[in-house]
Chain A
Amino acid sequence: MQTKRTIFPNKALPYLLLAPQLAITIIFFIWPAGQAVKSSFEREDPFGFRTTFIWFQNYTRLFTDPAYLNSFGRTMIFAVAVTLLSMAIALLLAAAVNRLMRSGKLYTTLLVWPYAVAPVVAGILWWFMFNPSIGIITYVLSQLGVTWNHRVSGLDAMILITIAAAWKQISYNFLFFLAGMQSVPASLNEAAAIDGAGPFKRFWTIVFPLLSPTTFFLLIININYTMFDTFGIVDGTTSGGPAQATNILVYKVYADGFLGLNIGSSAAQSVILMLIVIGLVFVQFRFVERRVQY
């Protein structure tokens, strides 16, 4: 393939043009990441006077720490729950809007709004609605005979952050699903209708399989989002409580490092998170391009 090429007579110019982006990447990403890796091999005393190099002790200690393993497990549950919930609802909405075709524009615009809401704000929004004393949803639930208190019940707290996190992500998933559905030629649906498949059958045997690249892409993106971008939501609603019930990995990094001042352990945890991201991104690039196609 031939690409258009610009020849710079000056050898330094390209580097100069790249410099701002490189500087930002180095200052805000590479350097902190390097610091985290370095700290994860060290122990610092609580007053920050002395640091000792201790190899993998921070890591080995983590994997024998029940609190960490517990957090790991909860994060998995959280990630799966948020991903499934937000993708399922987004798929449903996209299918509904796709059927409307023309009048879909307005719904699309409205449905995209939650994505523009900052995580903390989303968290606080849901925290308000589920507030045990003043929340509207809690009120409705109590009328239905359901007692809701995410300050006491770990399950309630988990449900709360799941809803808040899923709600925010639905818009994003919806847009991708809708775009995917609209690129499925109408004649395929028509051919299937003539072939005797009802609307549901058509959806599951024609449209959904053709969406598989989108679905897989969103799966990775959503897991990524839930594991790493939900700090604000947890912070705005439960702060990891009650009794560590919602202390997911990304929140634990902050809680242990900044509140517990255990910098070494916190750094090790963030390095593990980083490795998980790298793993997910690798899977994404490796398989999205090849395996998931028809």
Chain B
Amino acid sequence: MARIELTGVTKVYPGNVEAIKNLNLSIADGELVVLVGPSGCGKSTLLRMIAGLETITDGTIEIGDTVVNKLEPADRDIAMVFQNYALYPHMSVRGNLEYGLKNRGTPKAEIAERVNEAARILEIEPFLERKPRQLSGGQRQRVAMGRAIVRKPKAFLFDEPLSNLDAKLRSHMRVEIRRLQRTLGTTSVYVTHDQLEAMTLADKLVVMNGGLIEQVGKPLEIYSDPQSLFVAAFMGSPGMNLIEIEQLQALGASLPDMVPANTGTIGIRPEDIVLGDAGPEHISLPGTLDAIELVGSESLVYGRADGLNKELIVRAPGIHLGEPGNRITFSIPKAALHCFDRDTGRKRVATANAA
């Protein structure tokens, strides 16, 4: 059990690639932190620095009150689950689970006991004597998890552990990882680029972009109150609709009073837009329908408002029917608007008395 503290962490790869830039993050004891961000934003790099697989160019990493910058991976008392599982192919499942314990000189009886316990928790008892190549993808994933929990480390590090599984198994394992982490109460850092995993697993969600942290918070907080244009567009699938304010003004649309000064872009979640006329509390934009994706429980409606150069996406409940080219009206509730600064792209707080 341990907290993890990152202070001013920087990583520069050879060739002057700055992968992590002066990053600060506190992870509380027992917390599950999920790192999300686009490909190449430095998630794996950060995780590998915590694990000790990459050197730290600058700053400090503490695990449970010990600065680990100079410690070997073995001495950091962490366990990692790799995307490709990295099971030792020449050892049986039991051998894989035992390896870390044996290296640490754990007594034989305790090894057997811990391996059996881990195998029971993960329901891999029937495969203990098999080699990894004789297992399905999902079973291998469980063994990789088993290898992590059997050592009872201070922290778990996961690098996209479910991305090689099919959708159904993935959602099943997601629930299981959540349950396991809660039961064991082990501090965890989890890297993913799956929105659903990020939203459902995280105690604390960290959105990264270009080696920097864009926003840290509870998942719902980040979804409902994104602090920057990047987070607004990145979180949610599809992400937030972003409209430049000049274009709206050119259309003569009546902007609500509470839009603060120096706002450059406004954002609106696809599920907040109403199709059809909806009254004075809305900005009404006439336009044409481009396409409809029927998901079943909801419909994604793609359209273009007259005079705007960007497509708008609307998440409409139930089944919405229509033909491309049909005239429709987008009604944007003023209360659901997110305002972003013209210069910095950061969120601007809408104040009722701004104007």
- Chain A interface residues toward B at CB < 8 A: 185, 187-188, 190-198, 201, 205-206, 209-210, 212, 294
Closest CB-CB distance, A6 to chain B, in whole Å?
Answer: 36
Residues 172-192 of chain B: 1 if any A CB is under 8 Å from the residue's CB, otherwise 0? 000000000000000000000
Within 8 A of A (CB), among B25-80: 51-53, 72-74, 78-80
Closest to A205 in B: B99
- Which A residues lie within 8 Å of B72 (CB)? 193
Sample (5) of A-B pairs whose CB atoms are under 8 Å apart: A192-B88, A194-B51, A195-B103, A196-B104, A212-B90
- Which B residues lie within 8 Å of A185 (CB)? 84, 86
Quick check: A193 and B53 within 8 Å, CB to CB?
yes
Quick check: B103 and A210 within 8 Å, CB to CB?
no
Is B317 an interface residue, CB under 8 A from the partner?
A: no
Is B89 an interface residue, CB under 8 A from the partner?
A: yes
Quick check: B131 and A195 within 8 Å, CB to CB?
no
CB-contact partner of B100 in A196, A198, A210, under 8 A: A196
Closest to A195 in B: B100
CB-contact partner of A294 in B52, B84, B89, B151, under 8 A: B89
- Which B residues lie within 8 Å of A190 (CB)? 51, 53, 73, 80, 82, 86
Closest to A188 in B: B86
Quick check: A210 and B74 within 8 Å, CB to CB?
no
Closest CB-CB distance, A189 to chain B, in whole Å?
Answer: 9
Most interface-central of A196, A205, A206, A294 (chain B CB within 10 A) = A196
Closest CB-CB distance, A67 to chain B, in whole Å?
Answer: 46
- Which A residues lie within 8 Å of B74 (CB)? 193-198
Quick check: B88 and A187 within 8 Å, CB to CB?
no
- Which B residues lie within 8 Å of A195 (CB)? 74, 99-100, 103, 147, 151
Q: State A188–B72 Cα separation when bound (angstroms).
A: 16
- Which B residues lie within 8 Å of A193 (CB)? 52-53, 72-74
Q: Name B's interface SS.
A: loop
Quick check: A191 and B80 within 8 Å, CB to CB?
yes
- Number of residues of chain B lying within 8 A (CB) of chain A: 23
- Which A residues lie within 8 Å of B82 (CB)? 187, 190-191
Closest CB-CB distance, B131 to chain A, in whole Å?
Answer: 7
Closest CB-CB distance, B65 to chain A, in whole Å?
Answer: 20
- 3 smallest beta-carbon distances between A and B, as pairs: A294-B90, A195-B100, A196-B103
Most interface-central of A188, A195, A197, A212 (chain B CB within 10 A) = A195
- Chain B interface residues toward A at CB < 8 A: 51-53, 72-74, 78-80, 82, 84, 86-90, 99-100, 103-104, 131, 147, 151
Closest CB-CB distance, B105 to chain A, in whole Å?
Answer: 9
- Which A residues lie within 8 Å of B88 (CB)? 188, 191-192, 206
Closest CB-CB distance, B169 to chain A, in whole Å?
Answer: 21
Closest to B78 in A: A194
Closest CB-CB distance, A196 to chain B, in whole Å?
Answer: 4
Quick check: A194 and B84 within 8 Å, CB to CB?
no
- Which A residues lie within 8 Å of B151 (CB)? 195
Closest CB-CB distance, B15 to chain A, in whole Å?
Answer: 11
Given A185-B86, A190-B53, A192-B88; A201-B73 close (CB under 8 Å): no
- Which A residues lie within 8 Å of B99 (CB)? 192, 195, 197, 205
CB-contact partner of A194 in B80, B87, B89, B131, under 8 A: B80
Q: State A205–B103 Cα separation when bound (angstroms).
A: 11
Closest CB-CB distance, A151 to chain B, in whole Å?
Answer: 49
Q: State A253–B88 Cα separation when bound (angstroms).
A: 48
Most interface-central of B51, B78, B87, B90 (chain A CB within 10 A) = B90
Quick check: A197 and B79 within 8 Å, CB to CB?
no
Quick check: A191 and B103 within 8 Å, CB to CB?
no
- Which A residues lie within 8 Å of B90 (CB)? 209-210, 212, 294
Closest CB-CB distance, B22 to chain A, in whole Å?
Answer: 26
Q: State A197–B73 Cα separation when bound (angstroms).
A: 9
- Which A residues lie within 8 Å of B103 (CB)? 195-197, 201
Quick check: B79 and A194 within 8 Å, CB to CB?
yes
Closest CB-CB distance, B277 to chain A, in whole Å?
Answer: 57
Closest CB-CB distance, A285 to chain B, in whole Å?
Answer: 22
- Which A residues lie within 8 Å of B52 (CB)? 193-194
- Which B residues lie within 8 Å of A294 (CB)? 89-90, 131
Q: State A194–B103 Cα separation when bound (angstroms).
A: 10
Quick check: A187 and B86 within 8 Å, CB to CB?
yes
Q: State A294–B151 Cα separation when bound (angstroms).
A: 25
Most interface-central of A187, A209, A210 (chain B CB within 10 A) = A187
Closest CB-CB distance, A205 to chain B, in whole Å?
Answer: 8
- Which A residues lie within 8 Å of B86 (CB)? 185, 187-188, 190-191
- Which A residues lie within 8 Å of B79 (CB)? 194
Q: State A82–B72 Cα separation when bound (angstroms).
A: 38
Closest CB-CB distance, A207 to chain B, in whole Å?
Answer: 10
Most interface-central of A190, A191, A196, A205 (chain B CB within 10 A) = A191
Closest CB-CB distance, A141 to chain B, in whole Å?
Answer: 42
